[in-house]
Structures are given as C-alpha cells and as structure tokens.
Amino acid sequence: MNRRRFLRHSALAVAPLILTDFSLFGADAPSKRLNLALIGTWGRAHAFFDSLARENVVALCDVNEEHIAFALEKCPGARTYIDWRRLLDDHRALALDGVVICTPDHTHAFIATWAMNRGLHVYCEKPIANTVEEARMVRSTYLNNKARLATQTGTQRHALPNFNRVSELIRDGAIGRLKTVSTWGNRQLRRPGYLPAEGTPPAHFHHDLWLGPAPFHPYNPAYYSGTPGNNCLNWNMYWDFGNGQVGDMGSHTMDLAWKAIDATLPTAAEAKGEPFNPEVSPVELEMRFEHPANAWRGPISVSWFQGGAMPASPRPYVDLNKIDHGALFKGDKGFLIADFTGRLLIPFGDKADLTYYERRTPETVLPNLGDFVGQWFDACKGVGRTACDFEYAGNLIEQMLLGLVAYRAGARVEYDPVAGRVTNLPDANALLGRTYREGWVLNG
C-alpha cells in the first residue's frame, strides 16, 4: 500500500493521530499547495481564478497569446505554453501535480488522457469526451490510476443542494418504484455548416493548434468571437469540435438525473431527430436508453430531449416547457419534476398516500457537497473523494454519445457495455470513434 493510501486508510481508524502525521509528510500534506497548470486560460477559465489563487499556478497554456497575457496578470510568474503537449513534456521540471482543462471539447479526452498517463491529477471541463471511444479511454485511464489520481468533471451544478434532495426523494421511494426518467434542454443553436475561410489568423492566434486533433477547417474569426464563457456556443454545434446540446447542457441536466438513478451504462439506445447533417449536430433530438436493474431498483428507461422535443407532461396543469433544463421522474406512485434548484412532487393513484415513504430528518439528509473545485484540490492531496470523477462522468457521457450513435445509425442499437461494442448492428461500431488528424494520438 503506498503512503497516501495508507494514510487514507489509517485516517479512518485513528483520525487524530494521522492528522498529526499528515503535517509531517510534505508530498501528501493537505496544507501543501498544489502545483497546477491551467490549459485554456480565458473564457471558462474565468470561473477558476479565485479557486486557483489558493494553490500555485505554475504553468499556463493557450493557443491565443493574448489570452495567456490576460491570465498571466492573475497568475504572475507562471511558465507559458501554446502547445499543451510541450507543457506536459515539462511536467517534472514544473513539479506539476495536476492540470485544469478549460479548452474546447474536441481536445478534452486528449489532454486528460495524456495528463493522467503522466501521473497528473485532472479537472476537466464538461464534456470529457466527444465520442464513445474517447469516453471509454478517459474512464479506463482513470480507473487504472484511481489509487493515485484525483479527477473531477466540470459539472459544478452537482454541488447544488437540490441534486441531493432529488436523489434522496428517488432513492427513498417518494414516487414508489422508479420506472422512467426524462431529461430535457431547450437551447437551440441553428448553424448552417462549417464556416468558410475568412481572413488570416492574427499573429497571436495559433489556428493549427486550436484545431489540434480535429480535421482541418479554414480560419474564420466567427468561431472565436463570443464573450468569455460563452464562446463555446460558437463552435460546439459542429461535429468536429463538439456535440451540440448533448455535450453542453446535456452534461449538466443528465447529471441531475444520473446522481439520482445510480446507473452504470445502458444496454440499448434509440434516437430520433431532425435529418442527419454531416457538419452540424442536431438541434431537435430525442434519445432513449435502457438501463438494467441495480441493487435498489428495477430496470429503467432514461431519455434525453432537446431543441423543442419534450417529454409528455404528467398532468395537463403542468407546463414542462416553462422549465428550460429539467428532469421528470416517473415511479409507480408518483412523479418528481426537477430543475437545477427546485423540485415538485406529484403523488398519484389511490395508494399514493406517502405512508410508504419515510422522510429524512435533519440528521439524515445528505450533507451539502460544498466547494466543488475545492473538493478536487482536497482529493489531489489525498483527502476525500470527488463527486464527478471520470468513472461517474465517463459513464454519463458514454451513454449520451451512444445515443448519438443510434441517431446516426438511424436504428435501435443494442450495446455490450463491457466490450463497448454495438452487438446488433456491426456497422454502427464505426460511429463509436472518429478519425484524427495525422500526428495526433489519443492515448499519448
């Protein structure tokens, strides 16, 4: 057993003694500041600077040198890079402990896998993958290193107390036996197709590195003209860069359900939506997944609706369209409707008197998760675990991306979750991954 695991195990048994011991061991001491690199230093990165100030940001990487200059003002003294591969080459010289990844989606699985392969802790923005194969690579790399690495996915809404309340109601049986779950998002970004060549990249912007593993597309400033934290909306509808709302709000909204249903991977998926466009991911889409039973519930059906497609309302007086991003759980004794911050319980039927359901007390409600980024810092230092590690988030996004495979195949796909193969439609297996530009390797 390595020292960190020994301390973790021992801490459970004799906490006061071990807390003293922690301060003696520099490498594992919770008081030690982490040496971190921020990859993607503008946009979503704005959300991290306050938290990162508690640790050491020793390196910054961005393909836009103006964005590096912006971050350097907040993290003076950090070494700077335009190519994340060169940064990772230097991880020993930088004494790096971990990386925070805020780059566009098509780079996430690459950077995360490469970083974990070098023994680095990873916080990665959602979605952590763009294909089923990428999701499986990120998850398996994490699982192979789980004893020594902490990972967290950027689904920070997971820390909202309502996620716990919804989870408690479902697992405690407030709607009886869970049967189906529907989640939805109403964001609609219509795009005609990849943008035509326009102008030349400015000297401070490295267009080729921005493309990274994606197939070549000519420079067009409109991909990069968004406000901080919203620029993803300028590229995430294009298949080579993102997966539209499946990876965007789908990551957050399915998380609300995922925490409650305690699922692993589906055994089948089907989908329908607007006609397939080889350049742009669909706006209107409906996907359904079959999940096997687990220890506390039977088999369930889980769905995702987007871009105008919506689940049927449980009652005529409830207008689900008034909830932009939400989840509807149906049990054999009631419905639960939730958004990120609130919930509505609708018992139904003569037997739905709630006597079968035992309310929690102030002592037994799940504790607030608290500081989501701080939870990752702590886990990097060997204290506690993260809520959205790459096993949890890898399963969630693999399911969503399998739905896109069913959509593209135009048929129900049966899935072997252990092998990661479609079993009833061999041709659909070609849709589980994608081809990268020459010179780019996922598992590097």
Residues in contact with ligand NAD by CB under 6 A are 39-44, 61-64, 67, 84, 102-105, 107, 125-126, 154, 156, 209-210, 212, 229-232, 248
89 vs 172, which CB is nearer to ligand NAD? Answer: 89
31 vs 227, which CB is nearer to ligand NAD? Answer: 227
Tokens of 239: 């298949």
* β strands within 280-411, DSSP E: 285-291, 300-306, 325-331, 334-338, 343-347
Closest separation in Å from C-beta 38 to ligand NAD = 9
Region of 185 on the Ramachandran plot (φ > 0 left; ψ -120 to 50 alpha; else beta): beta
DSSP 133: H
Closest separation in Å from C-beta 438 to ligand NAD = 17
Closest separation in Å from C-beta 232 to ligand NAD = 3
Closest separation in Å from C-beta 346 to ligand NAD = 29
39 vs 257, which CB is nearer to ligand NAD? Answer: 39
Task: Find out whether 273 and 284 touch, Cβ atoms under 8 Å.
Answer: yes
* β strands within 186-284, DSSP E: 268-273
186 vs 329, which CB is nearer to ligand NAD? Answer: 186
d(CA 195, CA 238): 10
* Rg over CA atoms, the chain: 22
173 vs 307, which CB is nearer to ligand NAD? Answer: 307
Closest separation in Å from C-beta 219 to ligand NAD = 13
126 vs 330, which CB is nearer to ligand NAD? Answer: 126
Closest CB to ligand NAD: residue number: 43
**Spatial CA neighbour of 66 closest among 221, 208, 202:** 202
| Cis omega (within 30 of 0) for bond into 127 | yes
d(CA 431, CA 239): 12
10 vs 80, which CB is nearer to ligand NAD? Answer: 80
329 vs 372, which CB is nearer to ligand NAD? Answer: 372
Task: Find out whether 271 and 287 touch, Cβ atoms under 8 Å.
Answer: yes
Closest separation in Å from C-beta 136 to ligand NAD = 19
Written in H, E and C, the secondary structure of 12-77 is: HHCHHHHHHHHCCCCCCCCCCCCEEEEECCCHHHHHCHHHHCCCEEEEEECCEHHHHHHHHHHCCC
Task: Find out whether 235 and 106 touch, Cβ atoms under 8 Å.
Answer: no
Closest separation in Å from C-beta 268 to ligand NAD = 28
Q: Are strands 151-153 and 121-124 parallel, antiparallel or unpaired?
A: parallel
Task: Find out whether 153 and 128 touch, Cβ atoms under 8 Å.
Answer: yes
64 vs 182, which CB is nearer to ligand NAD? Answer: 64
Residue 18 sits at φ, ψ, to 5 deg, of -70, -35
83 vs 332, which CB is nearer to ligand NAD? Answer: 83
d(CA 256, CA 101): 22
Tokens of 242: 């993102």
